[in-house]
Amino acid sequence: MKPNVGDINFWVSGDSFPNFCRLYCDLVFVVAEKVYWGNANIIDRNDVIVDNDEAYNDHYRWAMHQHHLKRRRRYTLKADPEYSFQPQDIENNLIDIIPFLIEQGITIDDVRQGMRSGFNSKPLRLESLASKLYNWFE
């Protein structure tokens, strides 16, 4: 992944992986800022990137114990609070995006294959469909 400012990321979870029948959108994350860490493998709680204690515990503290980078720079993506949201239906349930994808001519098998990396999942690039999916939630 090489996210840029303005990109729309959809965080999803399936009812079962890799043979899911539903794919719920947990978060629509519009990138407002891409901030590089001063040190790729450690960040202090008081660093200006860290918003609060909860953010530090959930998103930063782990870097000291794993995923050490030797050549790459580590960065944090900040969401645009005006355009990022958790899509829910009228009953506050997460919304299944499979019907939208099928409307766009993408089969569920295409999605299953596109999100599969060995036994793990991987990001599926939507390219021009990202804006359409974003608008579909409105």
Query: What is the average per-residue pLDDT within 81-98?
Result: 96
- Full-model pTM: 0.84
Nearest to 25 by CA among 123, 93, 95, 124: 95
Q: Where are the domains of the chain?
A: 1-34+76-138, 38-73
Query: What is the average per-residue pLDDT within 82-108?
Result: 96
- How confident is the model at residue 100, as a pLDDT? 96
- pLDDT-derived band at 17 (thresholds 50, 70, 90) equals confident
CA count, 13 A, side-chain hemisphere, 41? 9
Q: Is it the case that residue 119 has pLDDT exceeding 70?
A: no
- How confident is the model at residue 29, as a pLDDT? 96
Query: What is the average per-residue pLDDT within 97-123?
Result: 87
Over the stretch 38-82, which tens digit does the pLDDT of each residue have? 988 889 999 999 999 999 998 888 877 777 888 888 999 999 999
Omega prior to 18 cis, within 30 of 0? yes
Q: Is it the case that residue 102 has pLDDT exceeding 90?
A: yes
- How confident is the model at residue 128, as a pLDDT? 87
Rounded alpha-carbon distances, angstroms, from residue 131 to 1, 3, 10, 53, 76: 18, 15, 11, 33, 23
Q: Is it the case that residue 1 has pLDDT exceeding 90?
A: no
